[in-house]
Structure 1
Amino acid sequence: MPKNVLFIMCDQLRWDYLSCTGHPHLHTPNIDGLAERGVLFDRAYVQSPICGPSRMSFYTGRYVSSHGSTWNNIPLKVGEMTLGDHLRPLGVRTALCGKTHMTADAEGMRRLGLSPDSEIGVLVSECGFEPYEREDGLHPDGPRYPRNAAYDAYMKVRGWPDDNPWQSVANSAEDEHGNILSGWFLDNADKPARAADEESETPYITGRAMDFIREAGDTPWCLHLSYIKPHWPYIVPAPYHDMFGPETHLDPVRSEAEKRDPHPVYGAFIEERVSRAFSDDTARTRVLTAYMGLIKQLDDQIGRLMAFIEEKGIADETMIVFTSDHGDYLGDHWLGEKELFHDPSARIPLIVVDPSPEADATRGLKSSALVEAIDLVPTILDYFGGAPVPHIIEGRSLRPILYGEADKVRDFAVSEYDYSMRDVRKRLGVEVKNAKLTMLFDGRWKYIFAEGFRPMLFDLEIDPAELTDMGADPAFAEELARLERLFFGWTRRTSQRTTISDAQIAARDASLGEARAGILIGYRNERELRDVLDQAGGNAGPLRKSS
């Protein structure tokens, strides 16, 4: 019986904005239903708290410092293996509906003579996915991804002749005088988008995913359904635009003490325009109204999709993964956007539904195991019966937890952030090469190494809200030293030798292999060589005689 994987990713969905992860007012019964059928990993972390590098880690199973795509639009270099590269040899069609934030290594492709229009060139350009429909969003009136034309055509059929309906219809409102109100402006976030519900991005791409499943037939497939929302622009169609008033909003998690003598990097991010905007309660209220509505719309579409899968009779042979590429501060810690490592930003929701009978014992489990985004590639590869390749994939399969055979797969999680592209770097006077942050979290202590500055340190056992940075407190010097040793050990991992495995190297007998090949280094005479080969059960073969 063919096996399938539906790999669902939301963009900028916080881990705690679902009812199954504890939100008291935002009810998400369809996503909760996935958690009841599978395992909810309650402590999952991204490899970078920003779209591009996070997704490249999701798709390669490798840390950011391994794959090298350290910020949005920094290309994933040619030669990095992705999920599709691992699955295609197994006969699995690996396709995309939605967003990847992939930027192709055009220079590398030219150097290797790879045409972007060739079969291989398309796969390399699209992060290893067959682009059934790529729809990244993020295209205001400027250069746009060419395949967005499908959504434009759909909207024209719906009666919207706009040149860019993504911007002017799906992500804009309209006042009583017919004036277009851009969804980019936070003041418009609580207004209904001009698009009808079914015309907006989330229902549209859900429908395209259903089209793919209909067309796939009996071929095993892995479909990456990657939603653009609830990422900004924060605007949602009726009836979702006014479902969640201020009485449903959670208070921001922040304290005045955080702003007194903050860590220099954190303090610089507090001064960013988006952080100042989200520190204003009026703007935050408008955004939360839309953000929660976008999530409710998303949950309704997950319900639509799950009903379709049941109707197709493939639920029992389809693994379902539900996650997000990072979170959203929404004013917590005086910050907007994402990018730093507090839980609202770096922690993500993660649900895995494995239909295998071996996973029956863990259905409905909420696991406290530390897991990383890179664990999904080896989990999916494992599900399809692929051999592990730990010299390439740095993540670890979650199936031991799904099968109830283990309660953890690692002792700490790591996330990396390169802020060299941000104005923060210039304001701090930091060189590009030094604009690096790395988080190491062991389940209690969150240690953040900041190149050129003191570290940050949070104890989530006594301070789960992460309001007190103890990195400058000499009382915690011993804890900092322990975490620094863990971090230093992680940095010394072998991550670039991807062409030959540790097991292949371990199986070699280097000196014997050289001798059998006639490379005779250090032997005093032929008799010594023959003795060595006889003891190994081999033979010298034709030995070169001295003249």
Structure 2
Amino acid sequence: MNSIVIVCDTLRRDHCGPYHHGRPLDRVTGDAQQPWVVPTPNMDRLAEKGIVFDHAYCGSTPCMPARRDIYTGRYEFLERGWGPLEEDDLDLPRQISGPPNRSLTEQLREGNPVSYFITDHFHMWEQGAGNYHMGYTGFEFVRGHEADAWRTDPVEFPCPDSERGTKLERHFRNVHLTRKSEADYFAAQIFTKAAEWLEANHTHDNFYLHLDCFDPHEPWDPPEEYVKMFDPRGYDVERFIPQAPYDEWRKHMTEDQLKHVQACYAANVVLVDKWLGKLLDKMDELDLWRNTMLIFTTDHGTYNGDLGRTGKLQTHQYDAVSHIPFIVAYPHGGQGTRRQQLAQLVDIYPTVLRAAGKRCPDDRHGLDLTPVLENEHARFREYAISGMFGKSVTITDGRWALHQSPVADNQPLNWYGTCLAKFIPYDLGPYRDGRREVFDCASWPTPTWLSDKADDPGELVNLADRERGQLAKIRQALKETLTRLHAPSEQLERLGLAD
């Protein structure tokens, strides 16, 4: 069976039609959102072809840790933070296509499927990560998004005043020099190139195509006609904010400015959805639904006014960040249905390997979704976990969510692996016995939090003091889950779960 995996960065679940069902945003996730309906007809179209998971959650955050979850089938945040693949990582494309740096003829002769990677996510190449493309048979990198150090032409170019002198300035120079029409927007290029690759390569047996689309990650600068769907002013505003601060929004913006930021984000989602349709059209044209599994998801969501915040990080993995869209089109049934089992990004690894006819290595944290795809009543995991290295850890059964904060000194804590913390810095000690001690790691300044998402989907009320019995139950579940996953034992100590 062929496999296609599509990861759209920072895609909020409530902006996707298969989850909002045509309802305005403020009726889906609360009055922090605007009364807009975000049209995503192609995501709806994909849902009709596939299986929608109502309880899918990210694992490691933010961007690159989530990708290592996908590439290795293991939760990275339990062992280290943002970094590259390491020599002993059994990365997914290499498990499918065999050792890299060989001819395609040799690879196919050995019975290894073709794998291909298309992305505009420059962090895949940036120092501090930089090698996630290496296991594929082939890859294509669309240049210029966000802080990609690409064009240096000494020209005048439009750029928001807030971004002059920052790395994001690179984005506006790049697009000024290269963007001539909507087809030049990054999401458009990604899905167009994917459709072209399918046209040329669809006769390969059991191929694996991985798309990593950086949109709708900021900067949010979609075509103005899309912005006007939500804010009639378009870009004719006093202050254009292409990247909302990762902070309490009232410290940086007025309510009117927040509304425009929300409009730009929603417009970017609509842009992504439109060009997703180009790939779905090609799937229809080539009749690939009969022998191709397609997984559509994101790495995490983002705060967009929720809990008084914009951006990621800052605090616990509340629902706006951790609860993600996850849709699987499966050739052998389930079209137009939904699943209530708890899915996570680590599950992509064993599921794709099974589709490719490859054995899944031992000691993976992910679970093969195939039984759930084939049987809506199949037993699966009881709890999903997520977190950022050295911060709080979240566990949920789909209704109750516990965000467990560390003890006061957040020790002991170790960074496992040979890489250094280059992109998101940590104070690391010398490398000894496969790890580095982490010093002076501050966690989020937010107390342990217990939410009942059935009554409080926005997780506004902390029930940790009121629901002592439920708190004890889910804390025990977190302890047992970490033990079953063979998480480093010091994780239990720093989280106050060792006793």
User: Deviation at 1:314?
Assistant: 2.5
> Match for 1:387 among 351, 359, 381?
359
Letter in 1 for 2:369: L
Q: Secondary structure at the match of 2:303?
A: coil
**CA contact under 8 A between 1:104 and 1:126: conserved in structure 2?**
no
1:37 aligns with 2:49: yes
Partner residue of 2:324 out of 348, 351, 355? 348
- Of residues 482-491 and 129-138 in structure 1, the stretch that sits farther from structure 2 once superposed is 129-138
What is the distance in 2 between the residues matched to 1:312 and 1:481? 53
Q: CA deviation at 1:405?
A: 5.7
- The equivalences for 1:138-537 within 5 A come to 138-140=145-147, 144=149, 163=153, 195-220=180-205, 221-245=207-231, 273=247, 275-276=249-250, 280-339=254-313, 340-356=316-332, 359=333, 362-389=334-361, 391-404=362-375, 406-418=377-389, 435-452=390-407, 454-471=447-464, 473=465, 475-493=466-484, 495=486
The verdict on how the C-alpha distance between 1:246 and 1:285 changes in structure 2, with shifts beyond 3 A counting, is farther
Which residue matches 1:117?
none
| 1:108-147 correspondence to structure 2 within 5 Å | 126=133, 128-130=135-137, 132-135=139-142, 138-140=145-147, 144=149
With normalisation by structure 1, the TM-score equals: 0.66
Q: Which amino acid aligns with 2:81?
A: T
Shift of 1:102: 3.5
1:448: how far off?
Answer: 1.2
Q: Is the 8 A contact 2:248 2:308 kept in 1?
A: no
- Whether the 8 Å contact between 1:447 and 1:457 is mirrored in structure 2 is yes
Letter in 1 for 2:462: D
Cα distance between partner residues in 2 of 1:352 and 1:217: 19
Alignment of 1:58-77 (within 5 A): 58-65=70-77, 68-71=79-82, 74-77=83-86
Q: What is the alpha-carbon distance in structure 2 between the residues aligned to residue 102 and residue 184 of structure 1? A: 17
On the 8 A contact 2:77/2:388 being kept in 1, the answer is: no
1:343 partner amino acid: D
**Which structure 2 segments of 5+ residues have no match?**
25-36, 99-110, 234-243, 409-446, 489-499
RMSD between aligned residues? 3.5
Q: Distance in 1 between matches of 2:213 and 2:461?
A: 34
Shift of the 461–47 alpha-carbon distance from structure 1 to 2, 3 Å rule, reads same
Q: 1:96 corresponds to which residue? A: 117
Structure possessing the higher relative contact order (Cα contacts under 8 Å, 6 or more residues apart): 2
Give the secondary structure class of the aligned counterpart of 1:492. helix
SS at match of 1:386: coil
Deviations 1:342-385 (A, max 9, x none): 111111101000112xx2xx221122221111111111112222
Q: State how far apart, in whole Å, the 2-side matches of 1:17 and 1:443 are.
A: 19
Quote how far apart the aligned CAs of 1:408 are: 4.2
Tell whether the 8 Å contact from 2:192 to 2:275 is kept in structure 1 after alignment: no
- 1:78 Cα offset (Å): 1.9
Q: Using a 3 Å threshold, how does the CA distance of structure 1 residues 168 and 458 change in structure 2: closer, same or farther?
A: farther
Paired position in structure 2 for 1:253: none
Q: Do the aligned partners of residues 490 and 6 (structure 1) sit closer, same or farther apart at CA in structure 2, a change above 3 Å counting?
A: same
| CA contact 1:39–1:367 (8 Å) conserved in 2 | yes
- For residue 272 of structure 1, report the CA deviation from its aligned partner: 5.5
Task: Check 1:347–1:277 CA distance in 2 against 1; reply closer, same or farther (3 A cut).
Answer: farther
In structure 2, the CA distance between the partners of 1:477 and 1:273, relative to structure 1 (3 Å rule), is: closer
Tell me which residue corresponds to 1:530.
none
| Cα deviations by residue, 1:454-502 (Å, 9 ceiling, x for unpaired) | 521111122222110122x1x42222222221111122235489xxxxx
8 Å contact from structure 2 (residues 247, 309) kept in 1: no
Letter matched to residue 37 of structure 1 = K
**Residues in 1 aligned to 2:463 and 2:81: alpha-carbon distance in whole angstroms:** 28
* 1:194-236 deviation digits (Å, cap 9, x = unpaired): 7521111111122222232233252232111111111111111
Kept after mapping to 2: 8 A contact 1:446/1:459: yes
Q: Which amino acid aligns with 1:392?
A: D
Could you tell me how far apart the structure 1 residues matched to 2:127 and 2:484 are? 25
Contact kept, 8 Å, 2:70 with 2:345, in 1: the verdict is: yes
After TM superposition, the structure 1 stretch with the greater mean CA deviation from structure 2, 210-219 or 481-490, is: 210-219
- 2:258 is aligned with what amino acid? R
* C-alpha displacement of 1:65: 3.9
Q: What SS does structure 1 have at the residue aligned with 2:15?
A: coil
Q: Deviations over 1:29-82 (max 9, x none)?
A: 11111111110001110012411111111221111245x4513xx233221111
Q: Is the contact made by 1:44 and 1:348 (CA closer than 8 Å) also made in structure 2?
A: yes
Give the Cα–Cα distance (whole angstroms) in 2 for the partners of residues 285 and 489 of structure 1. Answer: 43
TM-score (normalizing by structure 2): 0.72
Distance 2:154 2:94 in 1: 34
Equivalent in the alignment of 1:118 = none
Q: Secondary structure at the match of 2:215?
A: strand
Task: Please tell me the residue identity of whatever aligns with 2:329.
Answer: V
Look up the SS of the partner of 1:286 in the other structure. Answer: helix
The Cα of 1:407 is off from its aligned counterpart by 4.1
